Structure 1
Amino acid sequence: MPDTSPAPARPSATVILIRDTNDGIETLLLRRNSKLAFHGGAWVFPGGRIDPEDYPESQPPDDYAAACRAAVRESYEEAGLAIQTSDLVYLSHWTTPIVQPKRFSTWFFIAAAGREAVQVDGSEIHAHRWMRPHDALEAQRAGEIELPPPTFVTLLKLKAYATAGAALDAIAALEPEVFQPQHFKVPGGACTVYRGDASFDHDDIERPGPRHRLYMIKSGWRYENTL
């Protein structure tokens, strides 16, 4: 019989780099090579898999410390921006739904960007843009750019902050949010349901109760959070 068990989720790390402008905060988005199997052509934050070298020599292995090192390394490898692990604020953790053939278990950090010019590698990453969260979401809504669900939800959260300092201070005071999406097919597209939603761990997408979900449908994506 064929193996129907879900693909293992590979440990990875992402860093959301933000900076202040006269028009509000901007965040760095990178366009992935369209030939890549995972989110090829999408606009994402810098990030990638945690390598064995990212683990400190201490025992037992420290996954969080390795994620911090990977975030710093990926910021430099993909964008040419040098940050320190002490700059990182832990924002959230995302695990790819089990329906996906390629899955990741990803720590999301946020940090203030330095003053260096962005330099993409031209291989895995083909372009970059500094964008206000609102502008990136509007571009996605207009079909100009593609955003993966974690990037979309994160940009929605960043819209609430007027400055990079305010964002970092507020996020540092919050408990990091854990997203383990459950995937549902709905008319016009799909819906991912997150912990706290009445339908989480249930088969009924219409189950009454609180909502914490993302509708990804042709008429437009819609995030609901009544928690």
Structure 2
Amino acid sequence: MDGMSRAEVDKAESKDFALGGKPMRPRDAATLILLDRSGDEVQVLLGRRHRRHAFMPGRFVFPGGRTDPHDSRVKTVSPLPPEEELRIAGHHARASRARARAIALSAIRETYEEAGLLIGERVPFTSTRPGWQGFVEHGVSPSLERLRFVARAITPPGRVRRFDTRFLAAWRDDVAVALPEGGPTNELEELCWLPIEEAKALEIPAITRTVLEELQKRLADDPGLRPGAPAPFYRMLRNRFMRDTI
């Protein structure tokens, strides 16, 4: 998608987004790319969104959603790597650490809600936040130390919803509890683990395919996903969808 004009991006994403929205600022969002390296090929978790959704209807996506700033107050058994905090937050203001925590924890919470996978450690956990009661019930404390920042993308203007999305990655063996019935929101159907090359052939959004291609390249050079590695940042600048590195 790098270098495409706005018209070209609109055409490529016409089935992913409802177009024609009023001008709006993008809202923070978080997506978690869960990776399974137990076999010969790295596999990735995807699920299909309901076709009634205005945002990416019927598309296979990673678990994720809008960031809740209150998630920054949720206790964890381990912090984000310092190398990842500022890059996730995206600025150098005093609130960077809280913003990064909120984004990262939102990705973990959404993965539970949509896929029934609780990432963390099996140690007692308490919280009064409604979205975290599953972690309380199953005795899982969320952990941030193995999350990796792999990409950032801002939804172009002219959509009914716009997000400033951070794509984070974690490993399947970071999952402390996997609920057989899936997540409580039922937002994702047909959850599946697939090799990355096969995942790219699914009915996925253009930006998801772009991020998967970026991730393939990074895994080839950095299979352990070291913290602090350069990552792509996609956004519309001067009527072109541009790729920067952060």
Query: Match for 1:69: what amino acid?
Result: L
Q: Distance in 1 between matches of 2:211 and 2:230?
A: 15
1:136 to 190, 199, 223: 199
2:156 corresponding residue in structure 1: 97
User: Does the 8 Å contact 2:22/2:160 carry over to 1?
Assistant: no
User: Does the 8 Å contact 1:25/1:162 carry over to 2?
Assistant: no
1:202 corresponding residue in structure 2: none
Q: Distance in 2 between matches of 1:152 and 1:181?
A: 18
3-state SS in 1 of match to 2:118 = coil
2:241 corresponding residue in structure 1: 193
Change (3 A) 1:5 1:36: closer
Change (3 A) 1:54 1:20: same
2:211 corresponding residue in structure 1: 154
User: Does the 8 Å contact 2:69/2:99 carry over to 1?
Assistant: no
Q: Distance in 2 between matches of 1:131 and 1:93?
A: 23
By percentage of residues, which structure has more helix? Answer: 2
Listed as ranges, the gaps of 5+ residues in structure 1 are: 140-144, 185-191, 197-211, 213-227
How many aligned positions are there? Answer: 178
Query: Match for 1:98: what amino acid?
Result: P
1:217 corresponding residue in structure 2: none
Listed as ranges, the gaps of 5+ residues in structure 2 are: 1-20, 75-93, 120-142
User: Does the 8 Å contact 2:117/2:183 carry over to 1?
Assistant: no
Return the structure number with greater relative CO, CA threshold 8 A, min gap 6. 2
Q: Distance in 2 between matches of 1:151 and 1:129?
A: 15
Is the aligned partner of 1:113 residue 2:161? no
RMSD: 3.0
Shift of 1:129: 1.0
Shift of 1:122: 6.3
Change (3 A) 1:14 1:60: same
User: Does the 8 Å contact 1:97/1:183 carry over to 2?
Assistant: no
1:66 corresponding residue in structure 2: 102
After superposition, what is the alpha-carbon deviation per residue over 1:5-52, rounded to whole angstroms, capped at 9, x for unaligned? 622211110111001143310000011111111001100111001124
1:31 corresponding residue in structure 2: 48
3-state SS in 1 of match to 2:46 = strand
Q: Distance in 1 between matches of 2:41 and 2:220?
A: 6
Change (3 A) 1:5 1:39: closer
Taking every aligned residue pair, what percent have the same amino acid on both sides? 31
1:200 corresponding residue in structure 2: none
1:181 to 236, 240, 244: 236
2:189 corresponding residue in structure 1: 126
Segment drifting more, 39-48 vs 119-128? 119-128
User: Does the 8 Å contact 1:97/1:182 carry over to 2?
Assistant: no
Change (3 A) 1:20 1:10: same
3-state SS in 1 of match to 2:223 = helix
Is the aligned partner of 1:81 residue 2:117? yes
User: Does the 8 Å contact 1:34/1:40 carry over to 2?
Assistant: yes
After superposition, what is the alpha-carbon deviation per residue over 1:115-135, rounded to whole angstroms, capped at 9, x for unaligned? 654624463112211011111
1:14 corresponding residue in structure 2: 31
Q: Distance in 2 between matches of 1:11 and 1:18?
A: 23
